[in-house]
Chains A and B, each alone.
Chain A
Amino acid sequence: MTDAVVVRNLSKAFEDVQAVAGISFTVHRGELFGFLGPNGAGKTTTINLLTGLARPDTGSIRMGGIDCTDRPRAAQHLVGVVPDESNLYPELTGFENLCFCAALYGLPKAERRKRARELLETFALAAASDRKFASYSKGMKRKLTIAAGIIHRPDILFLDEPTTGIDVASARQLRQLVAELHDRGTTIFLTTHYIEEAERLCDRVAFIVSGRIVRIDTVEHLVQPVQEKHAVRISFATTPGDLQDGLSESFPTLGFTFAANDVLRVESDRPVRVGPLIRFLEEHGAEVSEARRMRPSLEDIFVEITGIEADAMRGEKEKKGGGR
């Protein structure tokens, strides 16, 4: 069985920016592969290179067994693309847009109309099917753009930040649709800057920063090192006095860091017994308001590997995307 996407040493520069700097990866058939990275990391550029909208400076690309290195448009019949910005025709209705996109892939008329109705139904857009695309809300536009990307049932689907800039409910609905497509065997290449999204959906994840892949692995493997760590977060009602030294002396197997004045993070290689800990703290005059076991996540690993604060990454995006 051939792999869906095989990329070797791919790079691409624009005037003064090295957008993609020698990346290599393989996406297996039927896999949901995540590309996770901050703004300007080179995610969209990678998609453009793979889908024939840009020509690589170096490297090779194979898609569905077809060598696309010198013929960037050779595998387009296999591919569906959902770009980061909706690029459908504003003056056509939702239904017309979908039928037009299906026609580009040569679907016969009856099938085009059937598929278009089906997808409008699936994406809860049936009521808006005869309205012009220009009048759609942001979330509706996103959904129709995704529908247009899958209307020809592509083997390999590229999704560029599908949930950026839409509300929580729509984002959840979209993730569910992506998961369903994945279950039906579509190979999916998904870029995102939402770590939880990658964690929830993807089989494997590549971290990309400044055009370079810093790590690729299955989500399980990625979170394993932090999985084995046990962490507890203790919040105080009032800021306690200096407890650090006393704590380290009394609990030598635990690591303590104050994340803020009133938040203590406790780490250990074994499960943390919180009872004695809280008793100790209360005896020393601290007033504990909450103790919570932390679920280790991809976020911790991402921060550890890339040195990029996940919150900073998200914050920047929200300004651009208008929130999720």
Chain B
Amino acid sequence: MKLWTAFWNILRKDMRTYYLKPPNISWGLIFPLAWTGMFFVRSGSGLESIPVLLPGVVAVSVLFGTTSMLAVAITFEKKNRSFERLLLAPVPLELLMLAKTTGAILFGVANAFVPVIMALFLADLSELAWGAFVPAVFLIAVASTFLGLFIAVAVSEVFEAQTFSNFLRFPMIFLCGLFFPIARLPVFLRPLSYALPLTYGADVLHGAVHGGHSMPFALDFAVLGVFCVGLFAASLANIKRKWIA
């Protein structure tokens, strides 16, 4: 009960001070819109291509939403030392970091549904397999949040966190089969694709939206799950090693 009080209040404070701030909300809306628009213009296609583009736009919204929030919610607080307050609290480190990341995960999931809701008005999504789509969005949000956590723990300045995550995010968008199939990538890049969590999330999203996936859903979910656990564990180990040094 005591731990729950701490967990809930950390989450609530982050939501109030970071996630529900008007600039962040509008960013969460504008970003997916811009991406969608850009791909329409580029592909020169009509509304019938929405299902093909939707997985990419959803995944990118989640990825950017989560990773950029963590740079603030963690790196910034580490920098101005308020994070020490959390480290001094009688809350297990695991729970503490879950509290700090849950906000970003929820923010990521909310971001994902901005393009989905837009697409609902513009295209026929009756074929969409929600049972795979929703858990995939959730797991992508978790995996990219923990990736953001991993980065936030590895650096000490907010701008470093942003640079570092851009360094990872942009290649990831093109390597994960979101906008072009991995099969069309040069052979030497393909192993890299399979080393990225988003590849597996993208595969489920494609499968759920228009049936075109290359791996069984069970495998995709399992690999995503392993990435989530691995990234979280690695971040915790880093926190213990670097912040309680």
Residues of A within 8 A of B (CB): 51-55, 72-73, 76-77, 79, 81, 83, 85, 87-92, 100-101, 103-108, 148
Contacts and interface: CB of A to CB of B under 8 A. Distances in A.
Given A72-B244, A87-B81, A90-B80, A104 B86 contact: yes
Contact of B13 (A55, A90, A92, A107): A92
Contacts of B86: 104
Nearest to A80: B88
Contact of A53 (B8, B17, B84, B90): B84
Given A54-B245, A100-B13, A105 B2 contact: yes
Given A88-B85, A89-B13, 6 more contacts: A79-B88, A87-B84, A103-B6, A104-B6, A105-B90, A108-B5
B82 A89 contact: yes
A101 B85 contact: yes
Interface string B1-41: 11101101110010001000000000000000000000000
A81 B13 contact: no
A52 B1 CA distance: 23
B81 A76 contact: no
A55 B243 CA distance: 10
Given A87-B84, A101-B85, A77 B245 contact: no
A90 B79 CA distance: 13
A54 B245 CA distance: 5
B2 A53 contact: no
A73 B13 contact: no
B189 interface: no
B88 A52 contact: yes
Given A51-B88, A76-B89, A104 B10 contact: yes
27 contacts: A51-B88, A53-B87, A53-B88, A53-B244, A55-B244, A72-B244, A73-B87, A73-B244, A76-B89, A76-B90, A81-B88, A87-B80, A88-B82, A91-B17, A92-B13, A100-B9, A100-B13, A103-B9, A103-B10, A104-B9, A104-B85, A105-B89, A105-B90, A106-B2, A106-B6, A106-B90, A108-B5
A85 B79 CA distance: 13
A89 B72 CA distance: 13
A101 B86 CA distance: 9
Interface residues of B, number: 24
A114 to B, nearest CB: 15
B226 interface: no
B93 interface: yes
Contacts of A92: 13, 17
Contacts of B9: 100, 103-104
Contacts of B13: 89, 92, 100
Task: Tell me the interface secondary structure of chain A in the complex.
Answer: loop
B244 A83 contact: no
Q: State the main secondary structure of chain B at its contact with A.
A: helix
B91 interface: yes
B82 A55 contact: no
Contacts of A104: 6, 9-10, 85-86, 89-91
A149 to B, nearest CB: 9
Contacts of B10: 103-104
Interface in B206-239: none
Contact of A52 (B17, B81, B244): B244
A108 B1 CA distance: 9
A270 B149 CA distance: 69
Nearest to B243: A53
A195 B17 CA distance: 41
A87 B82 contact: yes
B87 A52 contact: yes
Contacts of B84: 53, 83, 87
Given A52-B244, A54-B244, A54-B245, A87 B93 contact: no
A81 B1 CA distance: 23
A81 B9 CA distance: 20
Interface in B110-152: none
Nearest to A12: B245
B93 A73 contact: yes
Instruction: Identify which of A76, A77, A87 gathers the most chain B CB atoms within 10 Å of its CB.
Output: A87
B81 A83 contact: yes
B241 to A, nearest CB: 9
B41 to A, nearest CB: 38
A298 to B, nearest CB: 31
